[in-house]
Amino acid sequence: MNPLFIGSLGIAAMFFLILLQVPIGISMAAIGFIGVGLMDSFSAGFSVLGAEAASTLGDVNIAVIPLFMLMGNFAAAGLSDYIDARLGDAHEIVPSLEGPFDFVFSDADKGWYKNYLIAVLPKLEVGGCYTTHNVSMPGRGRRGRGGSGDYMEYLMSLPNLETTVDSRGGGLAISYKKSE
């Protein structure tokens, strides 16, 4: 087949899929796969599809897109004055954040969970809540979850926090700050 004809047909098919409300990324991936398959081979199409997906998902520049979508949702809900979302190296950002905080949700670098808690806890108001995602009680769950269990042992040892662990899904530690 003529590559110009295949390309024109692909563009028309992509617009048709978009009109059917198929997400643009899925439309482009499907049409690209079919186009490469028709012009070369479908095994080449699978190779390109896998390589493009891996390089796109691993691209740091693409990581900002979900953050901007989240910030847009915050603004649409009227919460932008109450929520501060930042993209960068959490090892540097978290210790430099100014308090006070009444709610903190931590789902960053699991090996640094303890460091984040140490940096944020003095800035968490009494009565505030500190939550940690992907954790389990020591001796339970997948090995290495939540910073190899050291974090959970530390968290549970703090007398000024009352912590409950919900083991459903990825596991969530919910800590209520009772006192300074």
What's the structural domain count of the chain?
A: 2
Is the Cβ–Cβ distance between 91 and 114 less than 8 Å? no
CATH of the domain at 101: 3.40.50.150
Per-residue confidence (pLDDT) for residue 36, from 0 to 100: 85
Average pLDDT estimate for 2-30: 86
- pLDDT at position 62: 64
Phi-psi sector, 144: left (phi>0), alpha (psi -120 to 50), beta: left
- The DSSP string of 26-48 is HHHHHHHHHHHHHHT-HHHHHHH
Domain assignment present for residue 75? The answer is: no
- Given a cut of 50, whether residue 7 has pLDDT beyond it is yes
Which among 65, 118, 61 has a CA at the least distance from the CA of 91? 118
* 124/85 Cα distance (integer angstroms): 17
pTM: 0.57
Q: Are residues 111 and 164 in the same domain?
A: yes
pLDDT of residue 145: 46
Q: Is the dihedral of CA 45, 39, 25, 87 positive or negative?
A: positive
Task: Say which range, 3-17, 75-89, 131-145, has the weakest mean pLDDT.
Answer: 131-145
Q: What is the pLDDT of residue 147?
A: 47
pLDDT over 70 (residue 143): no
DSSP classification of residue 87: -
pLDDT in tens, 114-123: 999 999 999 9
114 and 161, same structural domain? yes
Judgement on whether residues 146 and 94 belong to the same structural domain of the protein = yes
Tell me the one-letter amino acid at 6.
Answer: I
Task: List the domain range (segments joined by +) for residue 51.
Answer: 3-58
Same domain, 93 and 170: yes
Most confident of 37-46, 47-56, 84-93, 108-117: 108-117
Q: Is the pLDDT of residue 57 over 70?
A: no
Higher per-residue confidence, 142 vs 127: 127
Looking at the fold, whether 105 and 47 belong to one and the same domain comes out as no
Q: C-alpha 64: how far from its chain's center?
A: 11
Q: How far apart are CA 106 and CA 131, in angstroms?
A: 6
Q: How far apart are CA 89 and CA 87, in angstroms?
A: 7
Q: Are 93 and 52 part of one and the same domain?
A: no
Instruction: Give the residue, 137 or 72, on which the prediction is more confident.
Output: 72
Q: Residue 84 falls within a domain, yes or no?
A: no
Assess whether pLDDT exceeds 60 at residue 43: yes
**Residue for token pair 């640094």:** 112
Please report the pLDDT score of residue 146 as a whole number. Answer: 44
- With a cut of 50, say whether residue 11 has pLDDT above it: yes
Mean pLDDT for the chain?
82
